Amino acid sequence: MGEVEDIFQRKGGVLLHPTSLPGPYGIGDLGPTAWSWIDWLQDAGCQVWQVLPLGPTGYGDSPYQSFSSFAGNPLLISPERLLMEGLLTDADLEPIPEFQDDRIDFGMVIEYKDRLLNLALDRFLSGATPDLEREFQAYCHEQAHWLDDFALFMAIKGEHEGISWIDWEPTLALREPHAIAKARERLRGKIEAHRFRQFLFSQQWQIVRQRAAETDLMIIGDIPIFVAHDSADVWAHPKFFFLDDAGLPTVVAGVPPDYFSPTGQRWGNPLYRWDVMQEDGYTWWLSRLASVLSMVDLVRLDHFRGFQAYWEIPAEDEGAETGSWRIGPGEDFLETAHNALGDLPIIAEDLGLITPEVIALRKAFKLPGMKVLQFAFDDDATHGYLPHNYERHCVAYTGTHDNDTSRGWYASAPEETKEFCQRYLGCEEENIPWGMIQAIWSSVAEMAIVPMQDLLELGSEARMNFPSRAEGNWAWRVKAEELSPQLARRMREMGVLYGRLIETTEIE
């Protein structure tokens, strides 16, 4: 498999979304603190940085409910980088609101960043350097296949005070050519503003990506299998989704009742018309995969089991119990993607109800699955998520962004689970997070990844996401002082000890 085989070597890394980085502007961004973070990972002997989806977030600030599968999140644009580009002045940054350093207030951040990005656009339009102007025009031309629709979508959404496209005038919601042409003319300035923000995001992300490459740091991205209904993806490509004549979903995504959720989960995303996508050669999906892989080295493909079979819920049903299984595109889709893009640098998120057919599909394309240690202690020694049962070609985690922190998980676990966990790890209660890190680092798994919260031994107050809660998620941030040299040394020693970092010099 060539290059993909080179990726899947014995490595360790950290899961931390860029929004969680430290910095003075209320949210982590792609400026100097991102460079400092990459340098800290290098000091810690980590060769992997895993992020969540990087798209612009909508309701609930979730990176899994984005306005676009192709766009970047403008909130990640660094004011300090804009200063370096001459697009902002020091005076423009003032007044800086009194942001918290450990939590994101998305409302405050959006208001502040919007003002700065509008100032940057004004300065660009009034006196951009020829080089920057050429780069912007080249970017718009190269990305026109998604950027034109996205910028128009966001401009119309702004004109309608942010409401969902389904509630726009029918002529705009259903993209009647005359109405769309008039909107393009009427909103020309707003469209250009959204194009410019995407250009800035792309520029700054590529700088971060280059820095990561210079330090041999691999970045793992994330592709949610489903997209938000209120997105440019669905609005611009309705034929690929099960929608009625008004644009509303007729069936939606979710999962049936299982061990983790006795009533199942109704996610509400529109489902794909895979037959139409197949007839079209899966062009939208191939473009989506290529776009994300142009930004990262490896991709976690969320809800992989949905490619083999997915749970279809009638849109009028409020719960998930009454759905039914439908066969997904499976081998045909993955084979098409392989033929178009080469060997697939994909991690299959194969958590939840996994059947032999899902396992066979993953193995047919030599994709590593995921092992989450928090799930391993509610059974016995045969549980597949216990490290002594791992296969080599997998990615091991203490937990993920959807789980509690390991300390929080342990605190709320049943007594028999706590007892088994302590016996298995051979450590006392106060050492559980690092005992779990040691367990996956010492396992045969090719990659071991730990959420930053577990390195810091934090409790439930630092949890990133509660899947059953619509608001109040995604806000946790690491403080600058928590990225200490002492913590980096501790990680580096573990990497050397368990062969996830090979170095010839002695650790001080």
Residue of 389, 459, 383, 380 whose CA lies nearest to 420: 380
| Beta carbons of 480 and 486 less than 8 angstroms apart | no
Instruction: Tally Cβ neighbours within 10 Å of residue 31.
Output: 24
Burial tier of 2 (Cβ tally within 10 Å: 0-12, 13-18, 19+):
exposed
What is the C-alpha separation between 19 and 2, in angstroms, rounded? 33
The amino acid that residue 398 corresponds to is: T
- In eight-state DSSP terms, residue 447 is E
Sheet strands side by side (includes 11-15): 346-348, 298-301, 218-223, 48-50, 11-15, 447-451, 394-397, 369-372
Those residues whose C-beta lies under 8 Å from the C-beta of residue 407, and which sit 6 or more positions away, are 432, 433, 454, 457, 458, 459, 460
First-to-last C-alpha distance (Å) of the chain: 38
Three-point CA angle 379, 16, 465, nearest 5°: 60
Note if 349 is an active site residue: yes
Backbone angles phi, psi at 45, to 5 degrees: 75, 20
Which entry of 105, 402, 482, 493 is annotated as an active-site residue? 402
Note if 402 is an active site residue: yes
Report CA-CA distances (Å) from 491 to 130, 405, 409, 439. 46, 18, 22, 13
Residue of 502, 399, 507, 504 whose CA lies nearest to 460: 399
Matching residue, tokens 């941030």: 477
For helices 130-142 and 188-214, what crossing angle results, to 10°?
Answer: 100
Note if 90 is an active site residue: no
- In eight-state DSSP terms, residue 14 is E
User: Could you tell me if residue 342 is left (phi over 0), alpha (psi between -120 and 50 degrees) or otherwise beta?
Assistant: left
Which entry of 349, 404, 446, 454 is annotated as an active-site residue? 349
Which entry of 29, 85, 230, 302 is annotated as an active-site residue? 302
What is the C-alpha separation between 508 and 506, in angstroms, rounded? 6
What are the strands, taking DSSP E only, across 73-178? none
Residues assigned a catalytic role: 302, 349, 402
